[in-house]
């Protein structure tokens, strides 16, 4: 008898290990305008202006940068146990997480998904102050709320199939006759809560926050330009093919990738169809046809296992970057070169 999947509401919280908390604070709070709702010398809890929970992103000081966990909210308290049972039934490691282990998060379960990612499921969480209409507090890029996670993993098909079992539906893919290179999957009725980018993994590709309008994304660039610290701007701004969102990719002081994202579309109808891009379509990632910079395909944050140790990487046999090499103007890149990068 199949073990029922937990009812996942949305991507809700994440924790990144950062090596220099003050420098991270400068980037996330001073430059980009995330609200630091609580902090001390070891940890900062960040949230967007339109969020209701205590926080949606935790930056915690540690010796090596990495991804500690990606957390989903589930609909009922029982769904926490369902999550544990679902993963345990597949022989995957699970860990009970007492309420308060993360400030503001109730009892939860952490698991290691089949691809090596540290994933958490929680229901109870503390409400934060209602700042939706505190325009006097808004700064920087004015992030509204956490929107999604994107991870690098070598076998996108397998990841897609597993998360489909977990109840995620697929809004868009990049594929060809041979394989699927990337997939976007959702629980909340937006383009995604989780996306899988083919590449060496498990690594975090990025965490994305929704901002209200395109001009806030331009402002994030202007602010970073003003500080002469524009090395943080990795790719964009631009319009995505996949998702149709207006986007910007930034790299924080530890190299963790953040996406600022707005204007994707509603996917909540019962017959919502998956839209499939051909991997050769130059508009699939940037609708305006701009090249995807190599670092965007190759770099990501180390994933930490439930024991806190960095996960070893598994490489894909083929990657979108080499398949699409012509249109990205990179010249021929061998897989061996990719694996050394």
| Binding-site ranges for a copy of itself (CB under 8 A) | 9-10, 31, 50, 52-53, 73, 75-76, 123, 125, 127, 130, 132-137, 144-145, 188-189, 212-215, 218-219, 221-228, 230-231, 233, 237-239, 241, 244, 246, 263, 265-266, 268-273, 275, 282-283, 287-290
Backbone dihedral angles phi then psi of residue 10, each to the nearest 5 degrees: -175, 165
Question: Smallest distance from the beta carbon of 124 to a copy of itself, in angstroms?
Answer: 8
Question: Smallest distance from the beta carbon of 228 to a copy of itself, in angstroms?
Answer: 7
The DSSP H or E segment spanning 109 is: strand 108-112
Nearer to a copy of itself, 163 or 210 (CB): 210
- Neighbouring CB atoms inside 10 A of 307's CB total 9
Nearer to a copy of itself, 3 or 288 (CB): 288
**Quick one: DSSP state of residue 16?**
E
Nearer to a copy of itself, 136 or 307 (CB): 136
Nearer to a copy of itself, 205 or 284 (CB): 284
Nearer to a copy of itself, 106 or 305 (CB): 106
Question: Smallest distance from the beta carbon of 185 to a copy of itself, in angstroms?
Answer: 16
Cβ contacts of 36-40, under 8 Å, gap ≥ 24? 37/128, 37/129, 38/103
Question: Smallest distance from the beta carbon of 270 to a copy of itself, in angstroms?
Answer: 5
Residue in 76, 55, 71, 188 with CA at minimum distance from that of residue 123 = 76
Length of the chain: 341
Tokens 């021929």 found at: 332
**54/48 Cα distance (integer angstroms):** 10
Nearer to a copy of itself, 93 or 107 (CB): 107
- Neighbouring CB atoms inside 10 A of 226's CB total 10
Question: Smallest distance from the beta carbon of 309 to a copy of itself, in angstroms?
Answer: 33
Provide CB contacts within 8 A for 106, sequence distance 6+: 99, 100, 122, 123, 124, 125, 126
Residue pair 73/122 in contact by the 8 Å Cβ criterion: yes
Question: Smallest distance from the beta carbon of 200 to a copy of itself, in angstroms?
Answer: 24
Residue in 52, 69, 64 with CA at minimum distance from that of residue 20 = 64
Nearer to a copy of itself, 41 or 136 (CB): 136
Residue in 117, 120, 89 with CA at minimum distance from that of residue 107 = 120
Nearer to a copy of itself, 226 or 341 (CB): 226
Nearer to a copy of itself, 133 or 334 (CB): 133
Question: Smallest distance from the beta carbon of 225 to a copy of itself, in angstroms?
Answer: 4
Question: Smallest distance from the beta carbon of 26 to a copy of itself, in angstroms?
Answer: 11
- Neighbouring CB atoms inside 10 A of 24's CB total 22
**101/68 Cα distance (integer angstroms):** 13
Question: Smallest distance from the beta carbon of 7 to a copy of itself, in angstroms?
Answer: 9
- What angle is formed at CA 28 by the lines to CA 110 and CA 133, rounded to 5 degrees? 90
User: If DSSP states are collapsed to H, E and C, what string results for 165-185?
Assistant: HCCCEEEEEEECCCCEEEEEE
């Amino acid at each position: 008898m199949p073990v029922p999947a937990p009812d996942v509401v949305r991507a809700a919280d994440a924790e990144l290990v950062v090596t220099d908390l003050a420098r991270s604070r400068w980037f996330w709070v001073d430059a980009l305008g995330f609200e630091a709702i609580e902090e001390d010398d070891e940890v900062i809890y960040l949230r967007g202006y339109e969020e209701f929970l205590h926080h949606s992103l935790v930056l915690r000081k540690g010796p090596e940068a990495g991804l500690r966990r990606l957390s989903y909210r589930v609909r009922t308290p029982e769904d926490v146990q369902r999550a544990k049972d679902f993963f345990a039934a597949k022989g995957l490691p699970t860990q009970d997480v007492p309420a308060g282990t993360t400030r503001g998060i109730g009892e939860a379960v952490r698991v290691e998904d089949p691809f090596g990612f540290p994933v958490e499921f929680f229901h109870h969480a503390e409400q934060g102050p209602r700042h939706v209409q505190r325009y006097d507090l808004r700064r920087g890029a004015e992030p509204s709320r956490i929107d999604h996670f994107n991870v690098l993993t070598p076998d996108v098909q397998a990841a897609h199939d597993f998360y489909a079992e977990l109840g995620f539906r697929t809004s868009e893919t990049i594929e060809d006759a041979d394989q699927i290179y990337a997939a976007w999957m959702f629980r909340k009725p937006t383009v995604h809560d989780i996306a899988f980018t083919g590449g060496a993994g498990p690594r975090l590709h990025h965490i994305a926050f929704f901002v209200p309008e395109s001009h806030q994304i331009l402002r994030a660039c202007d602010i970073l330009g003003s500080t002469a610290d524009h090395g943080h701007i990795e790719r964009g701004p631009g319009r995505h093919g996949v998702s149709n969102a207006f986007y910007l990719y930034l790299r924080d002081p530890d190299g963790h990738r953040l996406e600022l994202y707005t204007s994707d579309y509603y996917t909540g109808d019962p017959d919502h169809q998956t839209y499939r891009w051909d991997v050769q379509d130059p508009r699939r990632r940037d609708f305006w046809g701009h090249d995807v910079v190599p670092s965007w395909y190759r770099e990501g944050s180390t994933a930490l296992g439930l024991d806190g140790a960095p996960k070893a990487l598994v490489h894909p046999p083929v990657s979108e970057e080499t398949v699409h090499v012509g249109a990205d103007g990179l010249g021929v890149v061998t897989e061996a070169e990719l694996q050394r990068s």
